[in-house]
Each structure stands twice: as structure tokens, then as C-alpha cells.
Amino acid sequence: MLQKLRDNTRATIRAAIGIAAFVPVLALTAFQGFVVSKVSHNTAIPNLIYKGLGKLLGVKVAFNKASAPVEKHKRTWFVANHQSIIDFVVLGSTLNATFAGKGDILKWPVVAQMARAVKYIGLRRSAEFNPQSRAKVIKNFNDDYNTIVFPEATTTPTNKMALFRAPLFTILFGEKGQDKEGKEVSLDKDVVVQPVAIKVLSVNGQDATNRPDLHDCYAMYNENQTLKRIWRRLKIKEMTVELTAFPTMKAADYQDAEPAPKDKELPNAKELAGAKALINQAALSIASVVNPGQTTFEKAAIPGQPAKPAPAPTPGA
């Protein structure tokens, strides 16, 4: 009973802080979007907001001692596994980059304005819009910003990872994008890919390894009621999330990959083969930390789209 009272008190205080901070945060994001981003690439304000959210939710971020250094000198495409909306807080507070994700966020009241202020890249997840999605990512790199993307295209309920989708990454192998006016957009920067593994290390001081119940405190994947889910997160005293960055990857090392039989007739078969080889290797690296032993991946169903349960090719195919 006493613990329940403490948890609810903690949640109440955090909720009050969040409500009180709402207007200042909105003002800061507006200042970032309309002033700071016009004259520099300074991301101090977004980083401050992400760190504030992390503190509010009791999220602590620690890098694995075996982690490679985070790339800071080259344009970088960070790719990571995706288990929770909190992943945005975890990576946003540690990486200097722009998020690319589902475009639906840009339709949410208030959240849309904040997302635009930090240059969030909204992507439409149907294949027919891939050229426009590529164009948006290309422009972000050409403007000298890094990019963060979750290639699974949705969150996953367990440590088991879904297939990393490759079509966006063909821009690293020469494929162009196409803006809304139909104009071709091509990448004019050297870009490297850096995989980053996100792993729930502990919840309230308890080791979360092989503990689905503690993992659910982070992901809360099966909780459909948004307000209830937020309240449960606010009650948790602390979560420690471990990041493991891997050495950067270059497209040149994968440009000789052979297209899969089903892709050989595609006009971008060569570019897609390189992208699949690179992104599959990135997925294998991340899985070695998040879900050791996993070597194959299946496509996750994207919310709002018909499921396509066909098995994915073995990485490297």
C-alpha cells in the first residue's frame, strides 16, 4: 500500500511538472524553429527538451563500455532498433541528428508544431511515396544535418527485431529522390551509417535481462489506453537504457552486392542490393546486443497497412 502511494505521488508530481513546462517548451521549440535553425545547426534547445523529458520519465541513458565512439565528424545516418516511443527521448538526448519517421506525427495537434521546429522528417510509409521520402532524407543530409531512423518502421513488442527495411538507403548507392514537384534530388554529401543498439538494462534497479515484465515497463506495447500508459510510465522511478554504437559503415563496401532473384528485374536492383546488404549487416550488429543469436528477420506489419507475412530473405541474400 505504501509503495503504491509513493508511485502515485511520484506520477502526480511528474505530471504537474510536465503540465507546467508545456508552455515554456512550446515557446522554446518555436524559437528553435523560427530563429535558431534559420541561422545555425545548433541543437542545444532540442537536446535540452529531450533530456528534460528523460528526467521527467525517470530514464537514464548509459553507453556500453564496448561501444564504438559516436561519429561526430562525418554526416551520419544513425539506425537503431525500435521498441518504444521513449526511443526518441533516448536517442534525441544523446545524438546530434534529425529524426525521420512516420508522417502521421505531423498531423497531431501541438506535437506537429514541436516536431517541425526540430526539423522532424515526416515519411509516408507506402512504397509509392518512396521517391518523396528519399528526397526528404537527401535534403536533410545536403543541409548538413545527420539523420536518425528506425528501419523496422514500427515498434516491436519484444527484444526480437524485425527486418530493417532498405528502400530509403538506396540513396547511398546513387538512387535519387523526387520532390513533390517531380524534381530529382540527389545526395551531394558523403554519408556513413552508424548502427546503435537500444537495450533496456534495468527498471527500478532490477536487471531487465530476460524479464519480459520489466521490458514491458519500457515498451508498454500491449497497453492501448494512452493516458493509462503515460500514467504507468510516470509511476516508474527509473529505467536505465544502454546504448551500444557500432563502427560506421560505408556504402562503398557493399556496392558489389548481388541482387536477390526477386529483385533482378527492378530498375533499381543494383542500388537495392547494396542497400539490403548494408542494412542487413547493421541489423545483425544490433541484434548481437539486443537479441543475441538472432540471425534472420521478418517484416513487421506497419500499422494502418495490410500485413504482408512473406518471410524476409536471410541477411546478405
Average pLDDT of the segment spanning 203-217? 89
Would you list the domain boundaries of the chain?
Answer: 2-290
Mean pLDDT, the chain, rounded, equals 86
What pTM was computed for the model? 0.89
Q: Which helix (H) or strand (E) holds 14?
A: helix 2-31
Does residue 56 sit in helix, strand or coil? helix
**Is residue 307 over pLDDT 60?**
no
3-state secondary structure of 63: strand
pLDDT band at 317 (very low <50, low <70, confident <90, very high): very low
Rounded Cα gap, residues 146 and 150, in angstroms:
14
- CA distance linking residue 2 with residue 21, whole number of Å: 29
So what's the pLDDT on residue 110?
A: 60
User: Distances in Å between the alpha carbon of 18 and those of 51, 146, 211, 265?
Assistant: 13, 29, 29, 53
For 186-195, the pLDDT digits (tens) are 999 899 999 9
> Quick one: 137 exposed, middle or buried, by C-beta within 10 A (0-12, 13-18, 19+)?
buried
| pLDDT tens-digit map of 53-83 | 899 999 999 999 999 999 999 999 999 999 9
Q: Is the pLDDT of residue 311 over 60?
A: no
Per the model's pLDDT, the better-predicted residue between 87 and 310 turns out to be 87
User: Among the listed ranges 16-20, 71-75, 117-121, 164-168, which one has the minimum average pLDDT value?
Assistant: 117-121
